[in-house]
Structure 1
Amino acid sequence: MFVIITYDITDDKRLNKVRKILKKYLYWSQLSTFEGEISEGKLAQCMAEINGIIDTNEDSIYVYEVKNPKNIKKKILGIEKSYMDNFL
């Protein structure tokens, strides 16, 4: 399935840990957004790792699951950011 995950993390240490976990599973497309293809099992594993880090009283994680990615059309206004370009 295709997922889009957005987050709002209030603490920088937790933010960096969550970002590091998400980088293992998905592509970083915007500052607080990751997206990509992932199995249900891998998504559950990813969410379990994140749940062990976030403070559920302060932080939020939004997961948008798309069962059929053919139903998504992505349009970009302005420049397309790709944080993967920053890696050698």
Structure 2
Amino acid sequence: MYVVLVYDISGNENGQKTLGRVYKICKKYLTHIQNSVFEGEITPGQITKLNAELNKFIRKDLDSVIIFKSRNERWLDKEFWGIKDDALSNFY
């Protein structure tokens, strides 16, 4: 399945440390496309592993992670407004 993952990590109570850990975990499974946004193909088993790894660090009262799921990237219309990063050239 194709997913877009976004996260919001609070700056309170070791937020920078949590932010770094969340970034590294997401980077193992998905492609970083913008600040706290990742996307890519992932299996249901990988989503389970990703969730388990993130749950070790996400502070339920301060942070959030949202995953948008699609069966396939082709069902997702994507538009870029503003700067288009060349690192993302395979996505548009």
Taking structure 1 as the reference length, what is the TM-score of the superposition? 0.88
Q: Secondary structure at the match of 1:47?
A: helix
Whichever residue aligns with residue 8 of structure 2, its letter is: D
1:54-82 Cα deviation digits (max 9, x unpaired): 10000000010112322111110111236
**Which residue of structure 2 aligns with residue 7 of structure 1?**
7
Give percent identity, aligned residues only: 38
CA distance in 1, matches of 2:52, 2:86: 26
**CA distance change for structure 1 residues 70 and 26 in 2, over 3 Å: closer, same or farther?**
same
Mark the runs of 5 or more structure 2 residues left unpaired by the alignment. none
1:14-61 Cα deviation digits (max 9, x unpaired): 010000000000000010100000001001101110011110000000
- Aligned CA RMSD, in angstroms, stands at 1.5
Q: Is residue 2:33 matched to residue 1:29?
A: yes
Whichever residue aligns with residue 9 of structure 2, its letter is: I
Instruction: Kindly tell me the number of residue pairs found equivalent between the two proteins.
Output: 84
CA distance in 2, matches of 1:2, 1:22: 14
